[in-house]
A = this chain, B = another copy of it.
Amino acid sequence: MAALYLIPVTLGDTPLDNVLPSANHDVIVRIRHFIVEEIRSARRFLKQTDKSIDIDTLTFYPMGKHADKALFSKYLDPLRNGVDMGIISEAGCPAIADPGADVVAIAQSEGLKVVPLVGPSSILMSLMASGFNGQQFAFHGYLPVGSHERQTALRNLEATSHAHNQTQIFIETPYRNHQMIDNIISVCRPTTKLCIAAGITCGDNEFIQTKTIRQWRNEKSSVPDLRKTPAIFLIYAGQD
């Protein structure tokens, strides 16, 4: 039975073998129809996967920010006709903090087969390395940008973490990472813990550190320059 394969990519500049199982390669080289967030980077990823792939014979269907969602159902025609397809997003796993879920939902609603492949997820990897509760956690995407709304959001996350013993995870655009860190350490309580995780899987640029808010206030200078590095933030105010 033909399937819609969810194909993870790297989280940054790292060799594919570091973060993708070799079996992904064998799936990818059989696929000729790709629904992608950005065609240029998907082409580059496929070339990295296997130099012998003839990119110009493949069909790409855009699903990024400016794509017309009304076309998504039509994209799946090859799959409906028994032909494998793939979904590729810009970083990590499609459909998680990244586009793809709309297309998958259409496939699922028609009983088409969907097969997720293994790859890096900054959410999962930062949670593993944080030391925080991995039995209960929530991911919130981006928090509000406005200063009052953000303060409220952070206070709510801290309270929820405490009440439900639940790790709270969220992201920020790189150029606002340091502002986010300042917001967290000024709003949260001294005993709450914050894990800052950046450059995950990117070797020497990987930074994953957990400290209490009190410690971060004293050791803010230990945070590297994250203005251009994708980062993820985890707070935990539960019972240890």
8 Å CB contact of A120 from B105, B118, B210 = B118
8 Å CB contact of A21 from B20, B125, B135 = B20
**Listed residue (A18, A98, A107) with the most chain B CB atoms within 10 angstroms of its CB:** A18
What is the CA–CA distance of A137 and B166 in the complex, to the nearest angstrom? 12
In the assembled complex, A36 has its CB within 8 A of some CB on chain B: no
In the assembled complex, A94 has its CB within 8 A of some CB on chain B: yes
- B96 touching A108, Cβ below 8 Å: no
- A19 touching B21, Cβ below 8 Å: yes
In the assembled complex, A190 has its CB within 8 A of some CB on chain B: no
Chain B residues closer than 8 Å to A211, beta-carbon distance:
108
In A66-110, which residues have CB < 8 Å from any B CB?
A: 93-98, 100-102, 104-109
Chain B residues closer than 8 Å to A100, beta-carbon distance:
128, 134
8 Å CB contact of A128 from B94, B102, B208 = B94
Count class of interface residues, chain A: 35 or more
Chain B residues closer than 8 Å to A104, beta-carbon distance:
128-131
What is the CA–CA distance of A206 and B118 in the complex, to the nearest angstrom? 14
Chain B residues closer than 8 Å to A96, beta-carbon distance:
124, 127-128, 134
Q: Which of A57-65, A138-146, A181-189 contacts B (4 or more CB under 8 A)?
A: A138-146
In the assembled complex, A6 has its CB within 8 A of some CB on chain B: yes
Shortest CB distance A33–B (Å): 18
In the assembled complex, A200 has its CB within 8 A of some CB on chain B: yes
What is the CA–CA distance of A8 and B146 in the complex, to the nearest angstrom? 39
Known interface pairs A114-B208, A135-B97; A129-B6 also in contact (CB < 8 Å): yes
Q: For residue A137, which residue of chain B has the nearest CB?
A: B139
- A118 touching B23, Cβ below 8 Å: no
In the assembled complex, A12 has its CB within 8 A of some CB on chain B: no
Shortest CB distance A86–B (Å): 13
What is the CA–CA distance of A18 and B22 in the complex, to the nearest angstrom? 7
8 Å CB contact of A135 from B107, B116, B141 = B141
A interface residues, Cβ below 8 angstroms from B = 6, 15, 17-23, 93-98, 100-102, 104-109, 111, 114-116, 118-121, 123-141, 166, 195, 200-201, 206, 208-211, 240
